[in-house]
Homo-oligomer: A and B are copies of this chain.
Amino acid sequence: MLNIAVLGCGRIGRMHAENIAKHPRANLAGVFDVYEPAAIEIAAKLGVTRFETAQALFASIRVDAVLIATSTPTHADYIEQAVAAKKPMLCEKPIDLSLDRVDACAKAISGTDVPIMLGFVRRFDPGHRAVRKAIAAGKIGNLHQVTITSRDPGLAPEAYIAESGGIFRDMTIHDFDMARFILGEEVTDVTAVGSRLVAPDLMTKYDDYDTVVVTMVTASGKQAVITNSRRATYGYDQRVEALGDLGMAVSENRRIDNMTLHTETFTAQGAPLQNFFIDRYAEAFAAEINSFVDAVEKGEAPEVGFDDGRKALLLAEAALRSLAERRTVNVSEVG
């Protein structure tokens, strides 16, 4: 059994804690949150230790590994502390909003053999993953074109937008990682356009965009397109489509339930899509924990590493520059 402690008892941290508790080869070794009531509640419900400080958690011999689900600005620090404490870690994305901080963190931990897994959870979605597997199995032949549709059900509050780092670093970052995951090779060229349609004033205030299209090309000419919007009233729109010279694989959306209604004016009306990531990626979050436990148990490199986090951020930087300069940007220009 792998004893995993969780830092951060917000909505995501709590879900991770429950998934760890349920996992057949893991135990929840305790929780920590700077906001004590959150940690107290979850510790009581799940019958585990509450650590009073992150330091105590990292120092505990009853903790084999850690899951970092705290606020973004703390990620890089906790990664460094977990490495120092030799605790394998699964850290929520992003490493940091600043490429400089990411590079500093990389330098600080360089040479470590402590496993670091980054929480690009969508890689573990059964549908998206099945697309990747279909490609790997040759089911669609040589990959030509990837289309990623990724739209939030609604605009986040202003406080969130203000701290988000902008749509490319906050939202598209998942799709940049998904593009890399599906393409199976590195992106060289990035072209982006952005509009302010959902909340024009707010976007102008923060020099941000709510509706974007990003086109990427790899050295061999494979293409990937991401369409993002901060507003999809019908639910959390999460689709991945891969075209190859032998066929196409598509990861389709998921609805709240599987009932359809048929009347005089319409047929097959279904429920809205699952509303947001906690529901939509519930299976993926559980599979992510499983992958982490597997990697640590087997002493293998985690499936998604520190460098994947950095590369997704690089693509965000390239998209920002492309949009600003109205031109295709080579990724080597940004880092």
CB of A123 closer than 8 Å to a CB of B: no
- Complex Cα gap A256–B264 (Å): 12
The closest CB in chain B to the CB of A24 belongs to B45
Q: How far is the CB of A45 from chain B (nearest CB, A)?
A: 7
- Complex Cα gap A112–B217 (Å): 47
Give the A interface residue count (CB, 8 A): 76
Contact between chains at A130 and B259 (CB < 8 Å):
yes
Copies of this chain per assembly: 4
Instruction: Produce 1/0 per residue, A148-164, CB < 8 A to B.
Output: 01010000000000000
Most buried by B among A251, A270, A327: A270
**What residues make up the interface of A, taking CB atoms closer than 8 Å to B?**
18, 21-22, 24, 45, 47, 126-127, 129-131, 134, 139-140, 142, 144-145, 147, 149, 151, 189, 191, 193, 195-198, 211, 213, 215, 217, 221-223, 225, 227, 229, 231-235, 237, 243, 245-273, 326-328
12 residue pairs from A and B, CB less than 8 Å apart:
A134-B259, A145-B213, A211-B223, A215-B215, A234-B248, A234-B263, A254-B258, A261-B266, A264-B272, A266-B269, A266-B271, A327-B328
